[in-house]
A and B are shown apart, each in its own frame.
Chain A
Amino acid sequence: MKRVTSLLRRSAIPILSVVTGLLFGAVVIALTDFDSLSLITTDPARALFWVETIDGNTVFSGAIGGVVNAYGALLAGAFGDPGRIVTAFQTGNPTDIARAIRPITETLVSTMPLIFTGLGVAISFRAGMFNIGGGGQLMLGALGATITAIALAGKVPAPVILVVAIGASALAGGFWGLIPGFLKARTGAHEVITTIMLNLIGSLVVFFALRNEFLRKAGGTAPVSKNLTPIVDVPNIIDLPGLRLDYGFVVALLMAVAVSWLLFRTTKGFELRAAGFNLTAARYAGMSAGGSMMVAMTLSGALAGLGGGFMVIGTVGQLTPDLSGNIGFTAIALALLAGLRPSGVVIAALLFGALTQGGKLMGVQSGIPFELLSFIMALVIMFVAAPDLVRGMWRIKTKVPKETDPTPASKAATPV
């Protein structure tokens, strides 16, 4: 019982942060609905909230009605229609079942790279390194997997290609993470600047690689790679048509366990966390601070790279220059939301995966641009990082002492 209450208290701020972020998002949606708001003087009800029944369907309109539509589409896009799922299972038709549960599996598909990249961010932040470069590391990992898969196509059996390509993605991503770690350890170059630059360079590298006929899809000059699914494909968890959720997701979950074990049950993990808490003290205790930085950044990059690798040889099936989208920044948001705990990363990744997936349907159905989610995400990070704001807004009185912030990175002094 005590554990439950402590868990509740610990998750109160993250949950309220997300709720508050969504509320602010709703305000933005309502305030930019100029078509409805222009009716405010003539017909306030229609301008704000109006329900009517057209052809037996309940239709919401007005500025607030628009919010209901948008967030309704968000929910439906993320989790599907429960009624439809139940009927589909009753009829037992595989196509119907696949269609009904597709939103949920697609949410998990979006979640997979977020878990990998979020775990990477958590490791680096724990070690006091602000790895902003998750996006670039993911791209490099995807590139590594793509090159390996195409180079080995037809020469060795598919399972071998699978293993080698996944290894290559971890190596490539790890290398892209090692660069800022090495530069920070050896020259003191600030990792925020170097990782941002490596993000920009990473997407140019991918563009450059996709100019090559070896990788590029035949017929056309568009910078997209050949389709990798015929060469190698991570096996699917549910074998139904149209579903693409594969064992990459299971690997992501296993990685969360592995990272948790590494951080909290091994000496290396202790050293990483010590370097994040107090670099000077860690050095004084005889730990190699530079070594910790490089290990943390390499692991972080390798995890992000794995995410990219599992995308190109699994769920997405090809390399495109916009593969990473805003996964890099989303990973930062969810790692902070999770308090840098691996278990929390999985939960927060599920949440952001659902938002990402639901956001797509929201964009299609109610014309609310997907980019709103970036804004909501920024608010969520802000509320998590400044819990006083949320406490003030929701009038939470707290007996928790102020020094419970588990984010060592938020304490670490970061001189340039």
Chain B
Amino acid sequence: MTATSVAAPLAGTGLAARRALRAARIRGIAFVLLSLAALYFASGSFDTPAKFSAWIHEQGGEAAVLETRVGVLWIVAAGASAVIAILQFIRGATFPWRRWLLVVLAPWIVALLADLLAGKPAILTNVIAGSFEQATPIAMAAMAGILSERSGMFNIALEGKMLIGAFTAAVASSLVFIATGNPLLATLVGIAMAMVVGGLTGLLLAWLGIRHRVNQIIAGTVINIGALGITSFIFLRVLQHNTQYNAPPSVKPFSLPFLSDLPVIGPILFSAKPYVYVGYILVIVLTYMIYRTRWGLRLRASGEKPAAAGTVGINVLRIRYRALILAGLISGLAGSYLSLAAGGSFQMDMTAGKGYIGLAAVIFGSWHPIGAFLAALVFGFADTTQSLLNVLGVGVAPQILASVPYVVTIVVVAGVVGRVRGPAAAGQPYEQG
């Protein structure tokens, strides 16, 4: 231990520097423990075969196959952890460990997955493409969350807005399909109506929070409870006995021309349901809008320092109203994914916490659209592997697997993976003079 403290360059000699050094040592020890754990797992399941494959051109066609042993994967994970541990000990507090964390986590996740599969083959294309699909509603909810929080409004109502969106989309789409028989028109009207209703709910949240200065968390809770109550009520009272009003045409996957012909990547990224592409576009557009336009600068200003923004003549309240309505439109779209693309019909409480997970993705991705999208992918991956392992009947209790995303969320929010800072004025009412 003394050797490391000599070798570690000290940024200063103050209390903060000593704390940072101590934290660095704790991290180093943690990486060593990870390495030892990986070796232990390797000894337990060394000879179990591991087989991963990926479709090259199309589902069920030619496949690229990786065949190895679980033990080998664990040793790779152990080696990666050991290297990071050594780097951490040598470089002490100055080691940019967050960037290197992925080097540890990626082989760990692969080895863990292979271990849990216990010799059963897994198709990576389906796992990754599934992760993107599962991530789409979470990512969209996260985009809505970023918009509201960047404008200074805390938005826990994403869950309720998605639920209302899912409900409206299913009913509107079913009604139009009954009337016209045109599935495309039905879907489009369903999505549009979901967005309109989501936007109106966003307006309600803004009106309660800004006009009536209701605490934004309480206002959000009102919308979440109310949305769950009214959608379940109408589902039980009307839709259950009239199933034709809850049978929307489902959204089918759509292969993008040219892009879907790319080997390996095509079947993963570009043969998905159209929602996934809308998700990509949304992330790119929002990143540009927030960081490269005047509107984005004003949005960020009203979330960080509304008083200063007001002084230079920005109408902070109007910006917040608009941001919340826009966020409502996006959450309505995210909700419509659940009933039109994922489920095929509306079910009670079908969001099941996805809105809250989206909110966690906002924090995980430090209020940046691309970061939040990556965070949503992590949650999507957890979802997909969980259902894959469930289907294969792997000997882990499904409850443990199901709780992983929630535990990860707490760990992330608690700042174990590095502290993140949100918009300074989020959640605080602003009085316009």
Please report A residues at the B interface, Cβ cutoff 8 Å.
Answer: 28, 32, 34, 130, 132, 179, 183, 186-190, 192-194, 196-198, 200-201, 204-205, 207-208, 211, 326, 329, 332-333, 336, 367-369, 371-379, 381-382, 385-386, 388-389, 407, 409-411, 413-416
Contact = CB atoms under 8 A, between A and B. Distances in A.
Contacts of A132: 221
B233 A386 contact: no
Interface string B401-413: 0110011011001
A403 B400 CA distance: 47
Contacts of B416: 187
A-B CB proximity, top 10 nearest: A374-B229, A378-B226, A375-B229, A369-B236, A371-B232, A386-B212, A208-B399, A416-B422, A378-B225, A189-B414
A189 B426 CA distance: 14
Given A378-B226, A413-B428, A414-B216, A32 B238 contact: yes
Interface of B is mostly: helix
Interface string B382-417: 000000000000000101101100110110011110
Contacts of A413: 427-428
B410 A198 contact: yes
A374 B214 contact: no
A415 B217 CA distance: 11
Contacts of B410: 179, 183, 189, 193-194, 197-198
Given A375-B230, A386-B212, A411-B215, 6 more contacts: A192-B217, A197-B413, A369-B237, A374-B232, A378-B222, A409-B218
A161 B348 CA distance: 39
B222 A416 contact: no
A336 B218 contact: yes
B353 interface: yes
A168 to B, nearest CB: 21
Contacts of B229: 371-378
Contact of A207 (B208, B216, B399): B399
A190 B413 contact: yes
Nearest to A383: B222
A275 to B, nearest CB: 16
Contacts of B342: none
28 contacts: A179-B410, A183-B413, A188-B415, A189-B410, A192-B156, A193-B356, A193-B360, A193-B413, A194-B414, A197-B360, A197-B406, A197-B410, A200-B356, A204-B406, A208-B397, A369-B236, A374-B230, A374-B233, A382-B214, A385-B212, A386-B208, A409-B215, A410-B215, A410-B218, A414-B215, A416-B422, A416-B423, A416-B426
A130 B226 contact: no
B280 to A, nearest CB: 26
A161 B223 CA distance: 42
Contacts of B217: 130, 192, 414
B219 interface: yes
Given A193-B413, A329-B225, A378-B223, A414 B154 contact: yes
B402 A375 contact: no
A28 B238 CA distance: 12
A409 B403 CA distance: 30
B26 to A, nearest CB: 15
Contact of A389 (B212, B219, B399): B212
Interface of B: 149, 154, 156, 208, 212, 214-219, 221-226, 228-230, 232-234, 236-238, 348, 353, 356, 359-360, 363, 397, 399-400, 402-403, 406-407, 409-410, 413-416, 419, 422-428
A200 B426 contact: no
B221 A329 contact: yes
Contacts of A197: 356, 360, 406-407, 409-410, 413
B233 A371 contact: yes
Contacts of A372: 229, 233
Contacts of A411: 215
B149 A416 contact: yes
Nearest to A379: B226
B157 to A, nearest CB: 11
Contacts of A373: 229
Nearest to B221: A332
A371 B363 CA distance: 32
A411 B214 CA distance: 9
B214 A385 contact: yes
A248 B348 CA distance: 33
A182 to B, nearest CB: 9
B227 to A, nearest CB: 8
Contacts of B216: 414
A105 to B, nearest CB: 27
B413 A189 contact: yes
Contacts of A198: 406, 410
B226 A385 contact: no
Contacts of B149: 416
Contacts of B397: 208, 211
A196 B356 contact: yes
Contacts of A367: 237
A248 to B, nearest CB: 26
A374 B348 CA distance: 13
Nearest to B425: A415
Nearest to B214: A385
A388 B409 CA distance: 37
Nearest to A203: B399
Contact of A34 (B224, B238, B353): B238
A383 B216 CA distance: 14
B406 A201 contact: yes
Contacts of A385: 208, 212, 214-215, 218-219, 222
Contacts of B413: 183, 189-190, 193-194, 197
A372 B230 CA distance: 6
Contacts of B219: 382, 385
A176 to B, nearest CB: 12
Nearest to A195: B410
A204 B404 CA distance: 11
Contacts of A407: 215
A410 B429 CA distance: 11
Nearest to A367: B237
* Residue among B221, B407, B426 facing the most chain A CB atoms (10 A cut-off): B221
* Residue among B224, B229, B400, B410 facing the most chain A CB atoms (10 A cut-off): B229
A409 B230 CA distance: 27
A381 B237 contact: no
A183 B411 CA distance: 10
* Residue among A186, A373, A374 facing the most chain B CB atoms (10 A cut-off): A374
B212 A381 contact: no
A193 B409 contact: yes
Contact of A415 (B156, B237, B360, B424): B424
Contacts of A329: 221, 225
B229 to A, nearest CB: 3
A132 B218 CA distance: 10
A187 B419 CA distance: 8
A381 B356 contact: no
Given A329-B221, A368-B237, A415-B427, A187 B214 contact: no
A28 to B, nearest CB: 7
A183 B356 CA distance: 18
A34 B245 CA distance: 13
Contacts of B424: 415
A407 B213 CA distance: 13
Contacts of A415: 422, 424-428
